[in-house]
Amino acid sequence: MKEECILCKKIAEVGRPNAKKGEFYVECDICKNYSYDHFFKSAYISMTEDKRAMISAYTRECYELEIEPPKLGDPDHLREKREEYKNKTNDEKLDNLILYLKKNSKRFGDSIPWDEKKDYPITYSPNHQEAAEIVHQAFKQGLKEEGARGVALKLTWEGWKRGEYLEKRNKMKIEEKRQQFLQKLYELTESNENDIRDMWEIGKSLGFPNNLTNRIGQYLEGEGLIVFRTEQGEISIKHEGE
């Protein structure tokens, strides 16, 4: 059904995959995908705009890095995320803008619709005024073509190449984390296929959030490198993983 996204207030697709638990799943053009339960809905709605923008930045980055859509709930976790994204550098904000434009361009030269009053979380900015400055920086650095403000944005060739680099870099980050996880499992089990380990503890030891650990586990299982022993996340390495 169509409802307001609780983060950016834009109309989004909202479903209830688990009605018994009162969970909502959101697909938003700006914030992308995330879920939450009804206990926290009123808390999100009452958040100030700048705080909601930082959570939106978090859900967007999960999408850009192909991490499992986050479930918003733990107040302490969200507070940490707000601070993390609040402290993003201007270079990081600019890179995410370029990455967004590249991912949404089917081909070089495409113009991407841009509503600065709604799309500003894409730049990790707490408000549209700061996002406008990031857009201006993209123009000054020759990454974005000059055009009518607040209508559409178009990458220059330099911006397009920068976007390609960022896409490859993000893919490499995920591959590196998968390799780190598998290497850690190999070391812990000493290549013993009967040695069962808790994947959440492995992920925690590597500093990975649970949603990333889960995505890595699902990927490695799909590649036939590990096997899930229980639904609670106990795993063991397979011969192919060794």
pLDDT digits (tens, 9 = 90+) for 53-107: 888 888 888 887 777 788 888 778 788 888 888 888 999 999 999 999 998 899 9
Domain encompassing residue 211: 169-237
> Residue for token digits 């980050």?
173
Domain count of the fold of the chain: 3
DSSP states of 155-199: B-HHHHHHHHHHHHHHHHHHHHHHHHHHHHHHHHHTT-TT--EEH
User: 111 and 129 share a domain?
Assistant: yes
- Where does the pLDDT of residue 19 fall: very low under 50, low under 70, confident under 90, or very high at 90 and above? low
Q: Rounded to 10 degrees, what is the CA torsion of 48, 76, 3, 153?
A: 70
Helix (H) or strand (E) holding 113: strand 112-113
pLDDT at residue number 135: 92
| Co-location of 64 and 100 in the same domain | no
- 215 within domain boundaries: yes
d(C-alpha 62, C-alpha 33), whole Å: 9
Which is more confidently placed, 39 or 100? 100
Give the burial class of 24: count Cβ atoms within 10 A of its Cβ; 0-12 exposed, 13-18 middle, 19 or more buried. Answer: buried
Question: Are 135 and 178 found together in one domain?
Answer: no
CATH number at 110 reads 1.10.10
Helix (H) and strand (E) counts for the chain?
9, 10
Across the chain, mean pLDDT equals: 85
Q: CATH no. for residue 201?
A: 1.10.10.10
209-215 long-range contacts, CB within 8 A, separation 24+: 209/67, 211/62, 211/67, 211/68, 211/69, 211/70, 211/71, 212/67, 212/68, 212/177, 213/181, 214/68, 215/66, 215/67, 215/68
Clarify whether residues 34 and 75 are in a common domain. yes
Task: Select from 49, 50, 57 the least CA-distant residue to 81.
Answer: 57
- Look at residue 138 in the predicted model and tell me its pLDDT: 92
Q: In the prediction, which pLDDT does 165 show? A: 92
Note whether 185 and 143 are same-domain residues. no
Confidence of residue 17 (pLDDT cuts 50, 70, 90): low
Residue 161 inside a domain? The answer is: no
